[in-house]
Structure formats: structure tokens, C-alpha cells
């Protein structure tokens, strides 16, 4: 087996890439999910401008290369299939580059294992499935391309220009690209002479400094960063490490702290045991530690400006740490080869299964979205012309798959008119997050402007985003206010009171609730 891996590694790499295609094959027909409607809408010829904001999330992102990639394909085809093919292709290319880099610092056997761990990692599912996740895929690809180029033995102006170009492309894909210089420095510092290292860094340093200055002053208008304390930073760092190393999807431990603690302690115990067993082996710390620190440097902008972390935000970090994992596995294997090989195989299988489950979850979530959208359009056709629908609830997510998030209006308009230029979206009040496909909601209309909604404890919870989830807390949004009446065992909202303003013209609206897989009219 080992001889085969040494002589024909390309065949095994092809098998790994084929496994990636198997995982994500069904996602090619998903269409748009969540932020995708606004992102693809902004990329249409009538709306696109290279200096416009990337409209996902808060809309305060400058990612011109990512937006240009959407726009160029939108000019050629109206469908979403080809957009999904691009996302999958980017992940395949990144996986191949991980192998190219890993085989230069580890034996082929462990380089291939590191490639499989990266390619099958469940944290990539959202970025590959969501069209709006392309920013992370592009940035990871260009950072890996920069590292691969830096390890090339050739020298000359071509290498300097290539490093600068990849740094620029990474910055233009996502803000994390501004960390390309320290990441490159970590890879160069112990592989080349200091003088050579600094010469190779001159181009990327100039590119990232100019780019950062332009973006900060022109796009963000010099806005200050989010504030965070050392405790928050430590918490985010620990969660980041867990998401990178965990063989399970984030949803597995999303709201169960005991499960998270047990799994985290198990991972720590296994790593500690392997480290102790390999303590007498020769470890090139000069190679390992900078390469493990580099991915953390790459995620620091996320900590500072997003003030949070999730599985979809660690793709770039995993890409940067993956080649080093190959070397660490090789070091561990010097004392316990069979154990390390068996654990690695188990981890790969776990990653593969978790990713398959993640894609299937999105498939079911997309099916619920289509059902809710079509049912809504059918119900809307029965309303009189002077009536407008108010959706008191909407299926916000299924397991770890947010169905519409803040882009319900765009999705409904596209389902009805097949374009992105929506003008009169329906009013949507509460999102329902659930681990079951069609949770049942009980409701009572207390008077003309007050509605009491309730979910069973095991049916899910109401998601109001910024609402402080404590008894008695409330949130005012537009013409209505939401108040928390009860919490479930996980501290999430299970009962709420929705109160509309007295000035709200109830005669013009029809109130609907999505419950048990269909729309219900809420009468007096």
C-alpha cells in the first residue's frame, strides 16, 4: 500500500477529488439559498458595478473579484447550475493545492491523508453549497497558490510578480486576504534565508498595504473596528480550534454544551497522548509552529470585525493548516504508525459522512423552502386585490440549514417573477428554527393587533435575531413589537407575543402562519 502511494499518488488524489464530487453532486441543483438571492441579484447586468458592496450579511464588505465572478457567469447564463459548478471546482482546486504543498513537507502517505482531511471537512459544506460562500473558496485558493509558488525552487521577477498577484487576488476575494503577508512570512521564514525571505515579501507587503488603505478609507470610510475583550478573544480562539479539529459538524454540538465539552476533551486527550508517545521523535518545531499560527492569523480579522465565529468562517484557516497536519501525522506515526493511520482513516470517514449529512440537510431545507414559497404564492392568488399578506412565521432553518435568513423577500419575489427586482415584499415577523421538518405552532389572536405564538419545547424555537432572549425582553421592528413569554430548556424563545402598532391598518392585511407544513389564516 505504501509503495503504491509513493509511486502513484495521483491516482489516490484523483480518488479523493472524486469523493468530493460525490459529496456535493446534489448541491449543483440547489439554486439559491439564503444570501444567494441578493448576491446574484446584485451581479445582474442592470445592477452590477465592480465597486459596489458585497450585499450578503451586513452589506459592508468589499469583494470585487467575487462579485465579478458572479457577474461574468450571469452575463452568459441565467441558471444557477454553472454557479454551483464554479464553487465545487474552486474547492477541488484548493484540495489539489493542499496536496501539492503537503507533499513537500511530508511523505506521500501523510500528504494524501492531509488532503483527504481538508477535502472532506464538514466545515466547507456551507461555503460550497451557498453561492455566497465563494468569497472564502476564492480567498483560500489564492492563499494556497501563493504558498505553493513560494515553495517553488525557481527565483526571479516572475516569482515576485506571482506572489504579489496572488496576494492581490486574495484581498479582492475577501477581507481576510490582507493577512496574506504574515501567512507567507510564516511559510518562508524557516525555508529560505532571511534576505531571500524579505525580498519575496516586498511585493505582497506593498499590495496588502495599498489595498488595505484604499478599502479602509474609501469603502469603510475609516470606520473603527468592533471592540472585544481578551475573554471573548480566548473563547473565539478555542471555538475556532474546535471547529478545525472536530470530526463532526458544528450542529452536532450547537446547543449541547455537555456534548461539546466531552468531544473537545476527547480531542485534547488524543492529541496529548500522541504527543507524549512521540516525544522522543525529532520534530522540526521551526516548521510546525509558524504554520499552525498562520491560520490563526488569517482568522483574526473575523474575530475583530465580525466578533464571532462559525463553521463557514474557518475554511481559509483549515486550508492553511492542512499541509502541516500531514507533517504532524508523520511525526506522530514514527512511534505509533498503525494507531495514527487508523485514527486518520476514522477521521476521514467521519468527515465524509458529516459532509454528506450536511449536504442532505441543505437538500431537505431547500425542499421546505420550495414548499413554503409555492404554498405562499398559491395562497396569495386567492386573496383579494386590496389585501396584503403578513407572515407571522416563516420556516427559518432546518437543523443547521438556514432556509432564507434575511432574504425572504428576494426569494419569494424570484419564485413568483423569476427576477431580482423586488419592490413590495410581504411583511415577515418571526423565523422558526427547528430540527424537524414541519414543526407545529399554536396561536391565539388576543385582539385585532396582538398575537400569541407558541412552540412545544422539542419543536424548535422562534428566532428574532437581535432580540435578547430573556423572559420579558422585547424588540421593536417596524410596525410591530416582539416580546418573550417563555423559553425552552436551551434558553431559546418558545412562546412570544407579537403586538402591532395602533396605527397599523389591519383591514389591508391578511395574517398567515406557517405550521405543520402549510399556511393557516389567523382570524379574529
Q: How does pLDDT run across 193-212, given as a tens digit for each residue?
A: 655 667 788 888 888 888 87
Examine the pLDDT at 83 and tell me if it is beyond 80.
Answer: yes
Q: What's 452's DSSP letter?
A: E
How far, in Å, CA of 149 to CA of 159, rounded?
A: 7
How far, in Å, CA of 74 to CA of 115, rounded?
A: 32
Question: How would residue 246 be classed by pLDDT, with cut points 50, 70 and 90?
Answer: low
Examine the pLDDT at 256 and tell me if it is beyond 80.
Answer: no
* Lowest-confidence region among 119-128, 163-172, 269-278: 269-278
Q: Which of 242, 245, 248, 243 minimizes the C-alpha distance to 324?
A: 245
How far, in Å, CA of 92 to CA of 156, rounded?
A: 29
Are 460 and 432 in contact by the 8 Å Cβ rule? The answer is: yes
pLDDT score recorded for residue 305:
54
Q: What's 466's DSSP letter?
A: T
Examine the pLDDT at 24 and tell me if it is beyond 50.
Answer: yes
Strands 480-487 and 493-500: antiparallel
Examine the pLDDT at 154 and tell me if it is beyond 80.
Answer: no
Strands 480-487 and 450-455: unpaired
More reliable by pLDDT, 248 or 371: 371
Average of pLDDT values for 104-113? 88
Hey, is 519 helix, strand or coil?
strand
pLDDT score recorded for residue 287:
64
Average of pLDDT values for 453-463? 82
Examine the pLDDT at 93 and tell me if it is beyond 60.
Answer: yes
Examine the pLDDT at 346 and tell me if it is beyond 60.
Answer: yes
Average of pLDDT values for 36-61? 78
Q: What is the dihedral of CA 192, 198, 200, 205, to 10 degrees?
A: 140
Number of H helices, E strands in the chain: 17, 11
Question: How would residue 297 be classed by pLDDT, with cut points 50, 70 and 90?
Answer: low
pLDDT score recorded for residue 82:
92
Quick one: which H or E segment has residue 431? Answer: strand 427-434
pLDDT score recorded for residue 258:
62
Examine the pLDDT at 422 and tell me if it is beyond 80.
Answer: no
Average of pLDDT values for 496-519? 84
Query: Which of 93-102, 369-378, 496-505 is predicted most confidently?
Result: 93-102
Examine the pLDDT at 396 and tell me if it is beyond 80.
Answer: no
Average of pLDDT values for 392-396? 83
DSSP states of 3-63:
HHHHH-HHHHHHHHHHHHHHHHGGGGG----TTHHHHHHHTSTTT--TTS-B-STTS-B--
Average of pLDDT values for 145-169? 87
Grid coordinates in use for 124? Answer: 466547507
Examine the pLDDT at 3 and tell me if it is beyond 70.
Answer: no
Q: Per DSSP, what are the bridge partners of residue 518? A: 515
Examine the pLDDT at 329 and tell me if it is beyond 70.
Answer: yes
How far, in Å, CA of 432 to CA of 287, rounded?
A: 48
pLDDT score recorded for residue 58:
56
Grid coordinates in use for 10? Answer: 495521483
Quick one: which H or E segment has residue 394? Answer: strand 388-398
Are 66 and 135 in contact by the 8 Å Cβ rule? The answer is: yes
Question: How would residue 124 be classed by pLDDT, with cut points 50, 70 and 90?
Answer: very high
How far, in Å, CA of 345 to CA of 422, rounded?
A: 49
Phi, psi of 46 (to 5 degrees): -75, -15
How far, in Å, CA of 351 to CA of 404, rounded?
A: 26
Q: Which of 86, 83, 89 minimizes the C-alpha distance to 20?
A: 89
Average of pLDDT values for 240-256? 61
How far, in Å, CA of 226 to CA of 228, rounded?
A: 7
pLDDT score recorded for residue 211:
83
Examine the pLDDT at 148 and tell me if it is beyond 80.
Answer: yes
* Lowest-confidence region among 218-227, 314-323, 465-474: 218-227
More reliable by pLDDT, 363 or 249: 363
More reliable by pLDDT, 358 or 212: 358
Examine the pLDDT at 108 and tell me if it is beyond 50.
Answer: yes
More reliable by pLDDT, 399 or 367: 367
pLDDT score recorded for residue 118:
94
How far, in Å, CA of 153 to CA of 221, rounded?
A: 42
More reliable by pLDDT, 8 or 128: 128
pLDDT score recorded for residue 144:
93
Count CB atoms within 10 A of the CB of residue 296.
17
pLDDT score recorded for residue 222:
47
Are 146 and 204 in contact by the 8 Å Cβ rule? The answer is: yes
pLDDT score recorded for residue 262:
67
* Mean pLDDT computed over every residue of the chain: 80
How far, in Å, CA of 67 to CA of 174, rounded?
A: 11
* Lowest-confidence region among 22-26, 56-60, 314-318, 448-452: 56-60
pLDDT score recorded for residue 489:
79
pLDDT, tens digit, 9 for 90 and up, residues 466-499: 666 778 888 887 788 888 998 887 778 889 899 9
How far, in Å, CA of 412 to CA of 369, rounded?
A: 10
pLDDT score recorded for residue 5:
65
Examine the pLDDT at 25 and tell me if it is beyond 90.
Answer: yes
The answer to whether the Cα torsion of 258, 259, 262, 267 is positive or negative is negative
The whole model's pTM is what? 0.87
Amino acid at each position: 500500500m505504501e509503495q503504491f502511494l509513493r509511486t502513484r499518488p495521483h491516482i489516490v488524489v484523483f480518488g479523493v477529488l472524486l469523493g468530493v464530487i460525490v459529496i456535493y453532486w446534489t448541491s449543483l441543483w440547489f439554486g439559491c439559498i439564503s444570501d444567494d438571492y441578493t448576491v446574484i441579484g446584485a451581479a445582474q447586468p442592470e445592477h452590477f458595478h465592480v465597486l459596489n458592496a458585497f450585499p450578503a450579511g451586513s452589506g459592508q464588505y468589499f469583494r470585487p473579484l467575487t462579485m465579478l465572478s458572479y457577474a461574468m457567469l450571469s452575463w452568459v447564463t441565467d441558471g444557477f447550475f454553472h454557479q454551483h459548478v464554479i464553487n465545487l471546482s474552486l474547492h477541488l482546486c484548493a484540495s489539489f493545492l493542499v496536496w501539492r504543498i503537503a507533499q513537500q513537507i511530508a511523505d506521500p502517505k501523510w500528504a494524501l491523508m492531509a488532503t483527504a482531511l481538508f477535502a472532506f471537512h464538514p466545515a466547507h459544506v456551507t461555503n460550497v453549497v451557498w453561492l455566497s460562500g465563494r468569497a472564502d473558496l476564492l480567498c483560500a485558493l489564492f492563499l494556497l497558490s501563493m504558498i505553493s509558488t513560494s515553495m517553488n525552487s525557481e527565483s526571479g521577477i516572475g516569482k515576485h510578480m506571482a506572489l504579489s498577484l496572488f496576494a492581490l487576488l486574495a484581498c479582492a476575494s475577501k477581507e481576510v486576504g490582507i493577512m496574506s503577508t504574515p501567512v507567507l512570512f510564516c511559510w518562508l521564514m524557516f525555508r529560505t534565508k532571511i534576505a531571500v525571505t524579505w525580498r519575496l515579501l516586498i511585493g505582497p507587503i506593498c499590495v496588502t498595504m495599498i489595498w488595505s488603505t484604499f478599502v479602509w478609507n474609501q469603502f469603510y470610510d475609516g470606520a473603527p473596528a468592533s471592540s472585544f475583550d481578551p475573554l471573548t478573544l480566548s473563547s473565539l480562539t478555542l471555538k475556532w480550534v474546535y471547529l478545525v479539529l472536530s470530526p463532526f459538524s458544528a450542529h452536532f454540538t450547537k446547543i449541547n454544551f455537555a456534548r461539546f465539552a466531552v468531544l473537545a476533551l476527547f480531542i485534547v486527550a488524543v492529541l496529548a497522548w500522541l504527543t507524549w508517545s512521540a516525544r522522543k521523535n525529532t520534530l522540526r518545531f521551526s516548521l510546525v509552529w509558524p504554520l499552525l499560527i498562520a491560520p490563526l492569523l488569517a482568522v483574526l480579522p473575523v474575530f475583530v470585525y465580525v466578533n464571532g465565529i462559525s463553521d463557514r468562517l474557518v475554511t481559509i484557516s483549515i486550508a492553511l493548516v492542512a499541509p502541516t497536519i500531514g507533517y504532524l501525522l508523520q511525526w506522530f506515526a514514527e512511534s505509533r504508525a498503525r494507531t495514527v493511520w487508523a485514527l486518520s482513516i476514522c477521521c476521514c470517514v467521519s468527515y465524509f459522512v458529516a459532509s454528506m449529512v450536511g449536504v442532505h440537510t441543505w437538500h431537505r431545507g431547500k425542499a421546505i423552502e420550495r414548499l413554503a414559497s409555492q404554498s405562499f404564492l398559491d395562497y396569495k392568488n386567492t386573496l383579494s386585490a386590496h389585501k396584503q399578506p403578513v407572515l407571522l412565521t416563516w420556516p427559518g432553518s432546518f437543523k443547521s440549514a438556514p432556509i432564507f435568513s434575511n432574504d425572504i423577500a428576494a426569494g419569494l419575489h424570484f419564485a413568483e417573477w423569476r427576477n431580482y427586482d423586488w419592490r413590495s415584499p410581504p411583511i415577515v415577523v418571526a423565523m422558526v428554527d427547528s430540527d424537524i421538518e414541519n414543526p407545529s405552532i399554536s396561536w391565539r389572536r388576543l385582539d385585532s393587533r396582538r398575537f400569541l405564538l407558541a412552540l412545544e419545547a422539542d419543536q424548535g424555537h422562534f428566532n428574532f435575531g437581535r432580540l435578547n432572549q430573556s423572559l420579558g425582553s422585547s424588540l421593536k421592528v417596524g410596525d410591530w413589537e416582539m416580546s418573550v413569554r417563555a423559553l425552552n430548556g436551551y434558553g431559546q424563545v418558545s412562546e412570544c407575543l407579537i403586538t402591532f402598532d395602533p396605527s397599523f391598518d389591519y383591514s389591508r392585511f391578511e395574517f398567515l402562519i406557517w405550521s405543520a407544513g402549510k399556511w393557516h389564516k389567523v382570524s379574529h
